[in-house]
Structure 1
Amino acid sequence: MSIEKRNLRIMVVCNFLVGASTTMIMPFLSLYIKSLGHFSDEYVQRWAGFIFGVTFLVAFLMSPIWGRFGDRFGFKPILIITGYGIAASIFFMGMMKHVEGLFFLRMCMGIVTGFIPTSMALISSQTPRETAGKTLATLQMGSVGGTLFGPIIGGTMADAFGFKYTFIITAIAITISTTGVLFGIIEKKKDRNASQAKNFTRKDVIKRIVDHRILLMVMIIALLIQLANFSVQPLLALYVTKLTNGGNVAFLSGLAFSATGFGNILLTRQWGKLGDKIGHEKVLMLLLVLACIFIVPQALASSLWELILFRFLFGMAIGGMNPSITAFIRLEAPLGMQGEVLGYNQSFRFLGNVSGPVLGGIVSGIIGISSVFYVTGSLFLIAFFVLWISVHHDRNHHHLHHGV
């Protein structure tokens, strides 16, 4: 087996575990906070929001920094630091006796949540340009699978072993996988003259992103994807309640949520392969239109199964977006700044994670839950037109400079 294939397989497993760890707390977070003292429901709900959101907020600030360190010192050391850091944060969450301490540990977890973008940068740097889409899509299947099954695994373990041991078992699993990175991953050393890794300042990287309009645009689209997912996510249980008379609302809303993840995993790799053949920006434009087509009918669903069907189709569309964006960055950003550029891309995604629930809450509060689907659909459509304009501007600019 080649080094590249072995590295990819190890990172898929590690990304699954790290992706699962970041979402496993979701089903029982409020229950865990409640177990730490005698608190009112209002207090528990408020702190659950703070504790869940702070990880993404801090990660938003830290992602480009980890990417920059990776560009300078290699991606493997950053994977080891962040992997063991996540494991330590989760381990001590199980020992925590105070709500404020749990908040602090989730904040620490945000500091070291650079594992997945760093793994993307590592695999990207070792992947030929012509197969970048397929390879990065395969890698994303690990993290998507983790975030899909994380809440299920977390909820099941909490019921079986209790909160404390759920954190400990998860921490041990991530420690083992990070040790696999330590001994199993072989990182090719960069040719310093070719990559000029030491010569790119932070100002150079930001200037590259701002000047290269299409590069900035795909990052904004990365934000929109997360915004779309997270704006609906907190409201899904309430929406499912309107569509069914069944008593097991938690299970049914989980099913509606998971349908998107299953659709995501199903076609992710195929979209990546198509992008390698016809261009990742073309695939991205197609997927933005499909996402709009599949999200709007969710507002018109008259039964739960209609909602689940369209959420599954929506998942198939958005599954190819992030690999297309990452592969596009792989082609457009110089090797010596790829880690930092991917870090900024991840920051845009984390910003979507934080702002999505806020947007969904405001829109649903003013004009109802179903309107959130319309707003999200229009955002995808706007993103399509802006990307289309950016692609044509980029082509015209290229022809002008080459005298075509």
Structure 2
Amino acid sequence: MQHRTLPQWRKNLYVLAFGDFVSGTGFSMSLPFLPLFIGQLAHFSRVQLTFYAGLAYAISFISQAIVSPLWGKLADRTGRKPMILRSGFGMCIIGFLCGTVPNIWWLLFWRFLYGCFSGYNSNSQALIASEAPDEFGGKAMGILTTGRVGGQLIGPIIGGIIASVAGYRMTFFVFGAIMLFASLLALFYVHEDFHPLPATDSTQHGSAMKQLEHPGLIVAMFITTMLVMAATKAINPIISLFVQQLMHHHGDVSLVSGIITALPGFATIFAANRLGALGDKVGAGKVLISGLIFCSCVFAATSFVHSVYTLGICRFLIGISDAALLPLTQTIVMLNSPNAVVSRVFSYMQSFQAIGSIIGPMIGSVVAGHFSYATVFMVTAMMAVINLVIVVISFSTKKQSPKGAH
């Protein structure tokens, strides 16, 4: 059989990409109906309902940002596979428990713990980063990104179907079941060649950043992931309202909003693997800088759209730019992080992504409330320009040629 001839790192990659797909699916499955589910737990006013729905969404990212570095440090001591299993089985149990909650407080509690058990994606990246040959790093990170984004895209669809057929709670039970399956696959088919360093080694007790040859470059990648997530999610609170404005309050706004929301993800799935492979050939740094330039131009252009068709085109192009940004930042981190601290570095990156996921919608809501929907895109364009400047400076101050980083 062909799969038996694959090197182990490729087998690990495919199993973990499937796990990333499942974890992305599970987190997004409840998004279409989360406010409705909360509304069933008690009689809330409109203000209370929107507040609790927003809190239930954000609280997982808050706990994720706090605990990710702790899990990363443990992964560098014990191996990445144990942390993947810890996260996978933990999400499985908590996903099931979310379906049993009697009130909003238990839901918030389990959602908080859900974030605490995060780390499947970051440890998947760390494991593959420690094993994949450098010449395939960009493509490997692109495959992992495709799995995660694909899950986030299909999750709301699956969740909506299950909720309409079997009720809201069944969605959480289904997620627990498929996460259990993905975790068992990782348990039996992922094999890590991990050799822990002696307990006295400085890398086990010192700061991970002190072990990096180019810490400024890595910090720039952290900021990049945070700003990319913030810019991408800034439109989430106002997308349906902006679509409604463009459609002049006529037509199926919900359907069109759903399509517009999904377009960047489809573009990312289409382009992530290809752009990751391109980064392996010409240099991840070059593709990343090009992606930031392209991103800032598209965001600026989006602020001038006057129809849902041009908005859809711009959102699709944003998805392509995302495919050039997230996998390539991960590739640069992979190529510039020693194996002894790679899990901690990727966990820091996950924390920055979580922070971006929190502040992005907040920025979008505030800007749209005080100015206009179109202004949100101009602000995100400015964020992309700032990000570009940071990345260019970080590469210019790096002593060696960026070709390896490339």
**Which category describes the TM-score, using the shorter chain as reference length?**
over 0.9
CA contact (8 A) 1:87 1:175 kept: yes
**Match of 1:313?**
317
Q: 1:296 to 1:120 in 2, by over 3 A?
A: same
Distance 2:300 2:212 in 1: 32
Distance 1:368 1:376 in 2: 13
1:330 to 331, 334, 352: 334
**Match of 1:125?**
130
SS at 1:328 equivalent: helix
**Match of 2:404?**
none
CA contact (8 A) 2:24 2:155 kept: yes
Trace 1:3-402 onto structure 2 (pairs within 5 A). 3-190=8-195, 192=197, 198-201=201-204, 203-208=206-211, 212-244=215-247, 245-395=249-399, 398=400
CA contact (8 A) 1:197 1:336 kept: no
Once the two structures are superposed, residues 142-180 of structure 1 have per-residue CA deviations (whole angstroms, 9 ceiling, x without a partner) of: 001011111121112111111111111111010111011
Distance 1:199 1:369 in 2: 51
1:106 Cα deviation (Å)? 0.1
Moved more, 203-212 or 345-354: 203-212
SS at 2:398 equivalent: helix
CA contact (8 A) 1:209 1:216 kept: no
SS at 1:250 equivalent: helix
Distance 2:162 2:136 in 1: 38
1:129 Cα deviation (Å)? 1.1
Q: 1:104 to 1:357 in 2, by over 3 A?
A: same
Distance 2:158 2:56 in 1: 20
Q: 1:217 to 1:209 in 2, by over 3 A?
A: farther
CA contact (8 A) 2:214 2:398 kept: no
CA contact (8 A) 2:213 2:336 kept: no
Aligned positions, number: 395
Structure 2 unpaired stretches of 5+: 1-5, 402-406
Once the two structures are superposed, residues 278-315 of structure 1 have per-residue CA deviations (whole angstroms, 9 ceiling, x without a partner) of: 22111110000001111222111111111001100111
1:192 Cα deviation (Å)? 3.8
SS at 2:230 equivalent: helix
One-letter amino acid matched to 1:311: R
1:2 Cα deviation (Å)? 2.4
One-letter amino acid matched to 1:179: L
1:204 Cα deviation (Å)? 2.2
Q: 1:394 to 1:197 in 2, by over 3 A?
A: farther
1:246 Cα deviation (Å)? 3.5
Once the two structures are superposed, residues 325-353 of structure 1 have per-residue CA deviations (whole angstroms, 9 ceiling, x without a partner) of: 11111111111000000100111110000
The alignment's TM-score, normalised by the length of structure 1, stands at 0.94
Distance 2:215 2:173 in 1: 45
CA contact (8 A) 2:88 2:180 kept: yes
CA contact (8 A) 1:210 1:216 kept: no
Distance 1:310 1:229 in 2: 12
Identity %: 29
The alignment's TM-score, normalised by the length of structure 2, stands at 0.94
Q: 1:131 to 1:211 in 2, by over 3 A?
A: closer
Distance 1:15 1:281 in 2: 25
One-letter amino acid matched to 1:226: M
SS at 2:31 equivalent: coil
One-letter amino acid matched to 1:46: F
One-letter amino acid matched to 1:62: V
CA contact (8 A) 2:80 2:123 kept: yes
Q: 1:6 to 1:280 in 2, by over 3 A?
A: same
Q: 1:210 to 1:228 in 2, by over 3 A?
A: farther
Q: 1:357 to 1:208 in 2, by over 3 A?
A: farther
For the aligned residues, what is the CA RMSD?
A: 1.7
One-letter amino acid matched to 2:296: C
SS at 1:336 equivalent: coil
One-letter amino acid matched to 2:105: E
1:372 Cα deviation (Å)? 0.7
Distance 2:254 2:268 in 1: 22
SS at 2:43 equivalent: coil
One-letter amino acid matched to 1:18: S
